[in-house]
A and B are shown apart, each in its own frame.
Chain A
């Protein structure tokens, strides 16, 4: 089953005399392609083609470093934020605009949204689907947008009428 190496995309590199000599000097197994049912079978025969299985090299499993900031503390923080939103929205609805409730809203709501979006990125835009780079890009984009949202809320509370007053006015406009 000798294959025509001239069809290979490496044809250009083979014009180099060093590489040509290396190819000629290589053992005859490199002029044949061997297909095996499994890597164990390939290892058993002692003959295998050029090794694309290097890609799937078995790496000894390393237990991930235990970091409670990414684990239970993150969960605690999520629930703390969610619980705090109940009295916050109640106070905001009952008493109207107040600098403290408005500032708290402008911090708690964007962070709560961020946590939710982060969960969606983990579920739908994970490295297995979009690659490590894609996943990291999404995560850092989300962080940038959340920072912008936090800044926007701060500016609105500081220089405009405030979040509670906006909802009240817009709702009854």
Chain B
């Protein structure tokens, strides 16, 4: 019998040998597929839950989380405006502003704070990242000082924006 992979894994394999069920033909896909299947059966070691909370990785995490949140909101608005005519939904600036005008003042201020805080945090932390890219503040002290500055400034500016 020919010593091809097909012959060895399809015709001649006795029970007890795992037979590939994937039909991918490329070498790379064949080597990766069983590893992915195995990973699904294994538990994951704790990581975020056991690492000591530190300003460094908390702020890094929030940079990504706030960026993702603001971006999802922006995409939802832009894509919604793009496809609204096709689904017959009236989605334009006038409709948005008229809906917002009907909301009570307290809810409006709260909502504006909830929208502004991720935005200001991501903007100011982004500037902190750009400063690092010029090799500034690349010490423990620098990281922590700029980190607290970003936290303070973003909170203050978010409150200020919410009260406009």
A contact residues vs B (CB 8 Å cutoff)? 3-5, 7-10, 13, 19, 22-23, 25-26, 30-33, 49-52, 54-57, 59, 79, 82-83, 85-86, 89, 109-110, 113, 116-117, 120, 127-133, 145-146, 148-153, 155-156, 160-161, 165-166, 169-173
Contact = CB atoms under 8 A, between A and B. Distances in A.
B130 A83 contact: yes
Contacts of B68: 116-117, 120
B123 interface: yes
B43 to A, nearest CB: 15
Interface of B: 1, 5, 8-20, 27-36, 39, 64, 67-68, 71, 74-75, 77-83, 92-93, 96-98, 100-101, 108, 112, 123, 126-127, 129-130, 133, 161, 164
Interface centre among B64, B80, B82, B100, by most A CB within 10 Å?
B82
Q: 3 tightest A-B contacts by CB?
A: A152-B82, A152-B78, A113-B71
A27 to B, nearest CB: 10
Contacts of B1: 22, 25-26
Contacts of B82: 148-149, 151-152, 155
Nearest to A161: B93
B78 A149 contact: yes
B27 to A, nearest CB: 7
A7 B83 contact: no
B36 A131 contact: yes
Contacts of B67: 116
A149 B101 contact: no
Interface centre among B28, B93, B130, by most A CB within 10 Å?
B93
A155 B74 CA distance: 15
A59 B17 contact: no
B32 A128 contact: yes
19 contacts: A10-B13, A26-B12, A49-B14, A54-B5, A54-B8, A55-B31, A79-B133, A82-B129, A83-B130, A117-B71, A120-B68, A131-B32, A145-B79, A146-B75, A149-B75, A149-B79, A152-B82, A153-B78, A173-B100
B33 A131 contact: yes
Given A82-B126, A127-B32, A170-B100, A145 B75 contact: yes
A131 B28 CA distance: 10
A52 B97 contact: no
Contacts of A146: 75
A50 B128 CA distance: 58
A166 B14 CA distance: 68
B130 A55 contact: no
Given A117-B71, A148-B79, A156-B81, A55 B20 contact: yes
Given A33-B14, A49-B17, A166 B35 contact: no
A16 to B, nearest CB: 10
Contacts of A173: 97-98, 100-101, 108
A120 B65 CA distance: 10
B11 A79 contact: no
Contacts of A113: 71, 74-75
A149 B12 CA distance: 54
